[in-house]
Amino acid sequence: MTREDEGNFSQKHGPDARLEPAVKEKIEKKVKNGQMACAVAFQIAEELEISAAQIGVALDLMEIKLMKCQLGLFGYQPGEKTVKPKKPEAPGLAEAIEAALVDGKLSCRNAWDLAHKFKVRKMTISAACDALKIKMNSCQLGAF
């Protein structure tokens, strides 16, 4: 979703997309000013025992903007991105990132998995990708 999509997030799911009442209710309790932090969206998914992707669709259908990506890629003020390029310091991390690439890009899910495996912050992975000139894709919530 880009700024140009704002107010039209639901259109990417087509006219048959439906919002589950229980999901809507939970989101309404946690949304602030029409926005929701990535971490809160994942918390809701865990509480409801559904996928992050389902929460992402619900947020789109409700025209709620995602903020504060846990990888630091979007939703931070005053700029969009908070992560800064930093070469990987953990032994083997650069090689593991390269091995996890699909079509030259690292998915959000693989970035999270690598952060867990190497016991580093998620933003450490995205900073390493930035330094290695690797693009990230496939947001688990569907934002990118």
List, as one string, the DSSP characters of the chain.
--GGGTT-GGGGG-TT----HHHHHHHHHH-BTTEEEHHHHHHHHHHHT--HHHHHHHHHHTTPEEES-TTSSS--SSSS---------STTHHHHHHHH-BTTEEEHHHHHHHHHHHT--HHHHHHHHHHTT-EEE--TTS--
User: What pLDDT sits at residue 1?
Assistant: 44
Q: Are residues 16 and 37 in the same domain?
A: yes
User: What pLDDT sits at residue 107?
Assistant: 98
Q: Are residues 42 and 103 in the same domain?
A: no
Q: Based on the structure, what is the number of domains in the chain?
A: 2
Q: Are residues 24 and 44 in the same domain?
A: yes
Please give the residue range of the domain that contains residue 42.
3-67
Q: Are residues 37 and 82 in the same domain?
A: no
| Among 67, 87, 122, residue at a domain's last position | 67
Q: Are residues 54 and 82 in the same domain?
A: no
Q: In this structure, are residues 57 and 50 in contact, taking their beta carbons and an 8 Å threshold? A: no
| Among 11, 39, 67, residue at a domain's last position | 67
Judging by beta carbons within 10 Å of its beta carbon (0-12, 13-18, 19+), is residue 87 exposed, middle or buried?
Answer: exposed
What is the pTM for the complete model shown?
0.89
User: What pLDDT sits at residue 143?
Assistant: 93
Tens of pLDDT along the chain (144 residues) come to: 444 556 677 778 877 888 999 999 999 999 999 999 999 999 999 999 999 999 999 999 999 999 999 999 999 988 778 999 999 999 999 999 999 999 999 999 999 999 999 999 999 999 999 999 999 999 999 999
Q: Are residues 39 and 83 in the same domain?
A: no
